[in-house]
Structure 1
């Protein structure tokens, strides 16, 4: 059984580079100051690889994923 994964932004660590929204526009939008807004924290299976790339590319390590309930 596949666990639900969720996406989170550490608002303290984030400095608004916008890389996450460029790499993952399906889940992340930018506010008027360039900071990410997670549209839907649940990561669909089809976007798991893209999400891993976005998390790895964050220059401030402000993105993370969590396993949800089984």
Structure 2
């Protein structure tokens, strides 16, 4: 599973960072970034929840 964040859509809510801090973090500008674009199997369920919970629909599977 590979993921990306659409930087134009992200508004920095940080929900993804709360749900899966092993994969997501906030950058210096306060927007989410992907730490691990190729998501390890043990984090895939949490990443799928983060994708579903993103209010801006900024996270997508690549």
TM-score (ref. length: structure 2): 0.90
Q: List gaps (5 residues or longer) in structure 1.
A: none
Match of residue 10 from structure 1: 6
Between structure 1 and structure 2, the one with the greater Rg is: 1
Question: Residues 32-68 of structure 1: CA distance to partner in whole angstroms, max 9, x if unpaired?
Answer: 23201211101111111111000000000000113xx
Which of the residues 22, 25, 28 maps onto 2:18? 22
1:61 aligns with 2:57: yes
The equivalences for 1:13-52 within 5 A come to 13-52=9-48
The number of residue pairs the alignment matches comes to: 62
Which TM-score applies when normalising by structure 1?
Answer: 0.81
RMSD: 1.0
Moved over 4 A (4+): none
Q: Which has the larger strand fraction?
A: 1
